[in-house]
Structure 1
Amino acid sequence: MDSTALDQAISELSTAKQRWAGLPIADRLDYLSRIRTLLAGRSEAWIALAAKAKGLRQDSPLLNEEWLGGPYAVLTWINAITETLQAIDAGTDPLRGSKVSERADGQTVVRVAPHDFNEWLLLNGFSTEVWMEPGVTAANVRDHIGSAYRTPRSTGQVALVLGAGNVSSIAPLDLLYKLYADNEVVVCKLNPVNDYLGPTFEEIFAPLIEDGFLRFVYGGADVGEYLCTHPSVDSIHVTGSERTHDAIVYGAGPEAGDRRERDERVNTKPVSAELGGVGPTIVVPGPWSKADIEFQAEHIATQKLQNSGFNCIASQVLVLPEGWEHTEALIAAVRTALDRAEQRPAYYPGADDRRQGAADAYPQAEALAGNRTLVTGVDATDPKAYAFTNEFFAPVLATTTLPAESAAEFLELAVTFANERLHGTLGANILVHPRTIRELGPKLDDAAAALRYGTVAINAWTAVGYLSPRATWGAFPGHTPDDVQSGIGVVHNALLFDRPQKTVVRGPFTPFPRSISAGELAMSPRPPWFVTNKTALVTAERLTQFAVDGKVRRLPGILMSAMRG
Structure 2
Amino acid sequence: MTAALPPTEQRWALDLAVNDLVRGEAAWAACDRAKRRKLLEQMQAATAEAAEAWVRAAVAYKRLPDDSPLIGEEWITGPYPVLTSLGALAASITALEKSRSPVDGFSFGQAPGGRVTVRVLPHSIWDHLLLNGFSAEVWMPPGVTKDEVRERAGLALLRPADSGGVGVVLGAGNITSIPILDVLYELYAHNRVVALKLNPVTDGLLDVFNRVLAPLIDLGAVRILTGGADVGGYLVHHPKVRHVHMTGSAATHDAIVFGTGTEGAARKEAGTSLLDKPVTSELGGVSPTIVLPGGWSEADLRYQAEHIATQKLHNNGYNCVASQVVVVSSDWAQKDRFLAHLRAALADAPARPAYYPGSDDRVARALDTYGGDAERIGTGRVLITGLDPAEPGPALTTEHFAPVLAVLELPGDTRQFLAEAVRTANEKFAGTLGANLIAHPGTMAVLGRALEEAIAELRYGTVALNAWTGVGYLTATAPWGAFPGHSLDDVQSGIGVVHNALLLDGPERTVVRGPFHPAPRALLHGKTTLSPKPPWFVTNRTAATTGRLLADFAAAPRWSALPRIFASALRG
TM-score, L = length of structure 2: 0.97
Cross-structure match for 1:455 = 462
In 2, Cα distance between the equivalents of 1:439 and 1:416?
Answer: 20
What is the Cα deviation at residue 281 of structure 1?
Answer: 0.3
1:64 is displaced (CA, Å) by: 0.7
* Preserved contact between residue 372 and residue 396 of structure 1 (Cα < 8 Å): yes
**Equivalent in the alignment of 1:367:** 376
Given the alignment, which residue of 249, 252, 261 partners 1:241? 249
For residue 203 of structure 1, give the secondary structure of its aligned residue in structure 2. helix
What do the CA deviations read for 1:45-94 (whole angstroms, capped 9, x no partner)? 11111112111112211011000000001000001111011101111242
Secondary structure, aligned partner of 1:254? helix
Q: Give per-residue Cα distances to partners, 1:459-508, cap 9 Å, x unaligned.
A: 00000000000001000000000000100000000000111000000000
Cα separation, 1, equivalents of 2:116 and 2:524: 33
1:84-99 mapped onto 2 (5 Å cutoff): 84-99=92-107
Q: What is the one-letter code of the residue matched to 1:89?
A: E
Unaligned runs of 5+ in 1: none
Shift of 1:152: 5.0
Q: In 2, Cα distance between the equivalents of 1:140 and 1:432?
A: 34
**Partners of 2:545 and 2:368 in 1: CA distance:** 41
Q: What are the residue-to-residue correspondences of 1:380-529 with 2, within 5 Å?
A: 380-382=389-391, 385-404=393-412, 406-529=413-536
Aligned-partner residue type, residue 333 of structure 1: H
Q: Structure 1 residue 102: deviation in Å? A: 1.6
Q: Is the 8 A contact 2:92 2:154 kept in 1?
A: no
Is residue 138 of structure 1 aligned with residue 108 of structure 2?
Answer: no
Q: CA deviation at 1:251?
A: 2.0
Structure 1 residue aligned with 2:42:
34
Spell out, residue by residue over 1:93-148, the C-alpha distance to the aligned partner (whole angstroms, 9 max, x if none): 42233110122531111100011111011011000000001231123210221221
Kindly indicate whether the alpha-carbon contact (under 8 Å) linking 1:17 and 1:213 is maintained by their aligned counterparts in 2. yes
Q: CA deviation at 1:413?
A: 0.8
Matches within 5 A, 1:43-62: 43-62=51-70
In structure 2, what is the equivalent of residue 190 of structure 1? 198
The correspondence for 1:108, drawn from 116, 131, 134, is: 116
DSSP-derived class of the 1:198 partner:
helix
Within the candidate set 220, 224, 228, 1:212 is matched to: 220
Shift of 1:19: 2.3
Q: What is the aligned partner in structure 2 of residue 268 from structure 1?
A: 276
Could you say which residue in structure 1 is the equivalent of 2:130?
122
C-alpha distance in 2 between matches for 1:141 and 1:177: 19
Structure 1 Cα separation of the partners of residues 289 and 163 of structure 2: 45
Which is further off, 351-360 or 464-473? Answer: 351-360
Q: CA deviation at 1:151?
A: 4.1
Identity of aligned residues (%): 51
Aligned residue number for residue 292 of structure 2: 284
Q: Which residue of 1 aligns with 2:570?
A: 563
Are 1:18 and 1:157, in contact at CA under 8 Å, matched by a contact in 2? no
- Does the CA contact (< 8 Å) of 1:97 and 1:116 recur in 2? no
Residue 385 of structure 1 deviates from its aligned partner by: 1.4
Question: Which whole-Å deviations, capped at 9, do the CAs of 1:273-315 have from their partners, x for residues lacking one?
Answer: 0111000000000111111000001001000100011000100
Q: Contact 1:136–1:499 at 8 Å: present in 2 too?
A: no
Q: Judge which range, 261-270 or 306-315, deviates more.
A: 261-270
**Cα pair 1:102 1:138 within 8 Å, conserved:** no
1:338 paired residue number: 346
**Secondary structure of the residue that 1:255 maps to in structure 2?**
helix
Query: Are the aligned partners of 2:32 and 2:161 in contact in 1 as well (CA < 8 Å)?
Result: no
8 Å Cα contact 2:46/2:212 also seen in 1 = yes
User: Whole-Å Cα distance in 2 between the matches of residues 315 and 233 of structure 1?
Assistant: 35
| Alpha-carbon displacement from aligned partner over 1:155-212 (angstroms, at most 9, x marks no partner) | 4400100000000000000011101111110000000011110111111211111121
Letter in 1 for 2:332: W
Pair 1:10 & 2:14 matched: no
State the distance in 2 between where 1:539 and 1:48 align: 16
Shift of 1:243: 1.4
Query: How many correspondences in the alignment?
Result: 563
Q: Which amino acid is 2:331 matched to? A: G
**Aligned residue in 2 for 1:19:** 27
* TM-score of the two chains, using structure 1 as the length reference: 0.98
Change (3 A) 1:234 1:366: same
Letter in 2 for 1:433: H
Q: 2:236 aligns to what?
A: 228
Which stretch shows the higher mean deviation, 191-200 or 468-477?
191-200
Alpha-carbon deviation of 1:520? 3.0
Structure 1 CA distance, aligned partners of 2:327 and 2:31?
50
Amino acid of the structure 2 residue aligned with 1:490: V
Cα distance in 1 between the residues matched to 2:168 and 2:101: 32
- Give the Cα–Cα distance (whole angstroms) in 2 for the partners of residues 195 and 135 of structure 1: 45
Deviation by residue 1:348-399 (Cα, 9 ceiling, x = unmatched): 00001111111111012111111111111211222x6110110000000000
